[in-house]
């Protein structure tokens, strides 16, 4: 089975959704080929001035800072239920472009370690609150995942794979996808698009139906 996952590193639901889907796959013992695609939610993040997640959530959803902080606390609690101790409230909203470019390079040249790299970048951003726009931070993560420091730095310092990140977003829009995460399951000619975060059990049901051939090409509607 091939699974495309469209994510952005500033999106906690991308981290949660990926964790749940992985757990469902492990429970069912399914052999999966993963493919990462980028969907940069905040292309202007960090390029003018850095905002806190509370400030951005408040601005984007037209709610007060206190309401934003309450929603962020709820997201942190949801993540904790899946074993992810994220610190979303203290994360600074910086550009995810460098991290996405590095991940696209890894997907192209080292697909076998891309998922590990993606998870480590999520961890750095959402748990440790490191600056994932910093090329030194990303280079260190790349090396920890088995990439050569020189090749990671070459990508990061020369703006390589920027077009690929842009094209991924254009492809997502062509599917009607406007937010992250989104998971596209492909198996024996059938395709299932799952937008948003589903429970681990719901992911398991979708995977079972895909394997059994009971699902024809269609799109799931997120009930949440």
Cα-Cα end-to-end distance for the chain? 26
* CA distance linking residue 193 with residue 50, whole number of Å: 33
pTM comes to: 0.92
Q: 223: pLDDT confidence band, cut at 50, 70 and 90?
A: very low
Contacts of 21 (CB under 8 A, 6+ apart): 3, 5, 183, 203
202 pLDDT band, cuts 50/70/90, is: very high
Per-residue pLDDT for 1 more than 90? yes
92 strand-pairing partners: 52
Q: Domain residues of the chain, as ranges?
A: 2-219
How sure is the predictor about 51, in pLDDT bands with cuts at 50, 70 and 90?
Answer: confident
Task: Please write the tens of the pLDDT for every residue from 84-120.
Answer: 999 999 998 899 999 999 999 999 999 999 999 999 9
Q: What is the CATH number of domain 2-219?
A: 3.40.30.10
- Tokens 């052999």 belong to which residue? 31
Burial class of 208 by CB neighbour count within 10 A (0 to 12, 13 to 18, 19+):
middle
């Amino acid at each position: 089975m091939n699974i495309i996952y469209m994510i952005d590193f500033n999106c906690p639901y991308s981290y949660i959704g990926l964790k749940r889907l992985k757990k469902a796959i492990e429970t069912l013992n399914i052999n999966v080929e993963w493919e990462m695609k980028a969907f940069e939610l905040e292309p202007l993040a960090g390029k003018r001035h850095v905002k806190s997640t509370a400030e951005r959530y408040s601005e984007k959803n037209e709610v007060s800072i206190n309401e934003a902080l309450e929603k962020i606390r709820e997201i942190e609690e949801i993540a904790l239920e899946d074993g992810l101790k994220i610190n979303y409230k203290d994360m600074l909203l910086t550009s995810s472009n460098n991290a996405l470019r590095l991940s696209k390079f890894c997907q192209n040249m080292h697909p076998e370690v891309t998922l590990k790299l993606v998870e480590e970048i999520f961890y750095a951003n959402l748990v440790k609150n490191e600056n994932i726009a910093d090329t030194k931070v990303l280079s260190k993560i790349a090396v920890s995942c088995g990439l050569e420091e020189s090749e990671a730095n070459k990508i990061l310092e020369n703006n390589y794979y920027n077009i690929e990140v842009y094209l991924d977003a254009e492809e997502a829009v062509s599917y009607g996808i406007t937010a992250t995460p989104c998971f596209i399951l492909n198996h024996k000619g059938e395709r299932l698009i799952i937008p948003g975060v589903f429970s681990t059990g719901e992911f398991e049901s979708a995977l079972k139906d895909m394997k059994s051939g009971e699902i024809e090409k269609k799109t799931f509607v997120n009930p949440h």
